[in-house]
Amino acid sequence: ARFDTVIHGGTLVTAAETFKGDLGIRDGRIAAIAERIEGGERRIDAGGRLVMPGGIEAHCHIAQESSSGVMSADDYYTGSVSAAFGGNSCFVPFAAQHRGQSIDAVLATYDGRAAPHSVLDYSYHLIVSDPTQTVLHEELPRAFARGITSFKVFMTYDLMNVGDAGLLDILTVAKAHGALTMVHAENNDMVKWMNARLSGAGATEPKYHAVSRPELAEEEAIHRAVCLARLVDAPLFVVHVSTRGGAEIVSREKARGTRLFAETCPQYLAFTRADLDRPGMEGAKYICSPPLRDEATQEALWAHVAGNVFDSVSSDHAPYRFDAGGKFLNGADAPYPKIANGMPGIAARLPYLFSEGVAAGRITLQQFAALSSGNAARIFGLTSKGSLMPGFDADIAIWDPEARRTVRLEDQHDAMDYTPFEGMELTGVPVTVLNRGASVVHEGRLEAVRGQGRFVARAPSGQGPARGYRAPEFEAAARYGVEIAP
Ligand code: DUC
Ligand code: ZN
Ligand code: ZN
Ligand code: ZN
C-alpha cells in the first residue's frame, strides 16, 4: 500500500486502548494502523511520544461580536493557529445571530470570516437570539440542511435571552430536525436583581462580578432547561457548567436517561473568585460568565470530570484584550457589568487538562481522548473525526507527555495581550498537529497555509438513545383529539 504520510514509533491512544504502533495516512484519512508500517512519502518520527486524536474545540468565540458590539480579538486565522498550538485539529466556534438578523445573513458573514483564513477544519454552532416564526420554520431548517446541527440559546442577558417559550420552540424545532440545543443557563432576573443591589451599594469592582451571578442562578436555570427539554423529549447540551449543584443535576438526569450532555471549562477548574480580587483592575482578566467560584467547587467539578459526568472540557475561549478595544471598551475604570465578559484559553485548554488531569492522575489517557475530542465528535455529528480508526480523517496530535513547560503568552499564538494561565507549570506538550493529513504545527513550528481548513458539514447532533417519551399532558391532549407537541 502507498501512504502519503507514516507516523512511526509512537504510542497510539484510542478510545479503548494505548499501544505502540505506526499509523499510515492516505488522501487525508487514516488508512492503516499496525505494529510496523514501511514506506510513506513523508515519515514522521513520533519518537515514543503519544499519538492521539487531534483535539476538537467545541466551545470558542472567534471573530464574533458580543451583543454590546465588542469584536473578539481572535479572527479565524489567529484563533485556529492558537487552537493548533494547543493540540487541536478542528474547532467549532459560534455564529451569533443578533436580534433582527436573518440566520442566512449571519452564516454568510461567518463563511466570509472563516473560509479564507482558518488553518483548521471548522463548523459553527448557531447562536439563536431571535426565534421568529421565519427563523424557526425556514431559516433553522436551512442551516440544518447545510450541516449546522447545533443551536445555542441564552437564558440570560436581556439582548440574548430567548425566554422559556423561545427555548421550548427551539428545542422542538431542533428535535424535529435532529439538531442539538445548547444552553447558557443562568437565571436572568436573579442576576439583574443582584446587579441592582450591588450598584445601589456602590460595589462596582471586578470582584463583585462573581457576587452578582450566584451559583443558584446557574443551578435553577440548568434545572429549568432540563425540565423544558424533558417536556418535549429533546436532547440538550449544557455549556460551561461552573457549579457543584449544576453538575449534580446533570449527573442525576443522565442517570435517569435524559438525553443530556454537558461540559465544564479549565477556568472553573484552575481559578477561583479570589482571582477577581487581584490588585487594581487585574481582576478584569478573570471576568467571565458564569463566574469563577471557590476551591470546593473546583474539587467537585474535577470529581465530575473524572466520573464522566462531563462529556467535554472546552475552553470557552472568549478573547477580549486588556485594553480599550477589549475589556475596557467602556473605560479603564468601568464598573464590572460594563467590562467585556470572557477569558482566553484555546491554546491552554488541552495542556492544562493533560497536566492536571492525566499527569496528575485524575483521569486516564482514554478519558483525555474522549474529553478532548471523541465525545465532541460523536455528540456534535463530526462523524469523520475524533478517533484514530482507519477511515477517519487524519486529524492527529502528537504529545510529549513528559515535557514540562511554563505557560507564556507568546506560546499561545493568539491575538491576546494576556493569558490567565501565565506562569503555570504544566506537564505534557502537544508538539505536532495534523489536519486531514496536512501538518499545521510540526515540532512546535507553524507549517499551515492560511485558509487550508475546510468547513465540515455535520451529521445530526445529540441523537443519543431517544426514549420516545411523551409527557402525559400531550397524551391527554391527543386523546381529546388535539395535537400540541411532537
Ligand atoms: N457565554 C459564553 O459561552 N461565553 C462567553 C460569555 C458567555 O456568556
Ligand atoms: Zn455562555
Ligand atoms: Zn462561550
Ligand atoms: Zn512560538
Task: Pick the closest to residue 337 from 217, 209, 191, 216 (CA basis).
Answer: 209
Q: How far away, in angstroms, is 61 Cα from ligand 1 center?
A: 8
**Beta partners for 441?**
433, 446
Tell me the best of 57, 59, 60, 61 to mutate to test the pocket of ligand 1, counting ligand atoms within 8 Å of each CB and taking the most: 61
Q: Does residue 240 have its Cβ closer than 6 Å to ligand 1?
A: yes
Cell of 300: 467537585
**What is this structure's pTM?**
0.98
Per-residue pLDDT in tens (0 to 9) along the chain, 486 residues: 799 999 999 999 988 899 999 999 999 999 999 999 999 999 999 999 999 999 999 999 999 998 888 999 999 999 999 999 999 999 999 999 999 999 999 999 999 999 999 999 999 999 999 999 999 999 999 999 999 999 999 999 999 999 999 999 999 999 999 999 999 999 999 999 999 999 999 999 999 999 999 999 999 999 999 999 999 999 999 999 999 999 999 999 999 999 999 999 999 999 999 999 999 999 999 999 999 999 999 999 999 999 999 999 999 999 999 999 999 999 999 999 999 999 999 999 999 999 999 999 999 999 999 999 999 999 999 999 999 999 999 999 999 999 999 999 999 999 999 999 999 999 999 999 999 999 999 999 999 999 999 999 999 998 877 777 889 999 999 999 998 877
Give the number of the atom of ligand 1 that is nearest the alpha carbon of residue 341: 6
Tell me the best of 152, 341, 343, 346 to mutate to test the pocket of ligand 1, counting ligand atoms within 8 Å of each CB and taking the most: 341
198: DSSP letter: H
Contacts of 451 (CB under 8 A, 6+ apart): 115, 116, 117, 118, 119
Q: Does residue 184 have its Cβ closer than 6 Å to ligand 1?
A: yes
Q: Does residue 413 have its Cβ closer than 6 Å to ligand 1?
A: no
Output the residue whose Cα is nearest ligand 1's atom 3: 316
Task: Pick the closest to residue 302 from 254, 270, 346 (CA basis).
Answer: 270
CA angle 201, 206, 212 (to 5 degrees): 60
Q: Which ligand is in closest contact with the Cα of 339?
A: 1
Give the number of the atom of ligand 1 that is nearest the alpha carbon of residue 288: 6
Tell me the best of 240, 267, 314 to mutate to test the pocket of ligand 1, counting ligand atoms within 8 Å of each CB and taking the most: 240
Task: Pick the closest to residue 125 from 137, 135, 140, 105 (CA basis).
Answer: 140
Distance CA 478, CA 483 (A): 5
Q: Which residues surround ligand 2, an ion (CB under 5 A)?
A: 184
Positive/negative CA dihedral, 472, 473, 474, 477: positive
Strand extents, DSSP E, 38-81: 42-45, 50-53, 55-60
Q: Does residue 344 have its Cβ closer than 6 Å to ligand 1?
A: no
Q: What is the ipTM of this complex?
A: 0.89
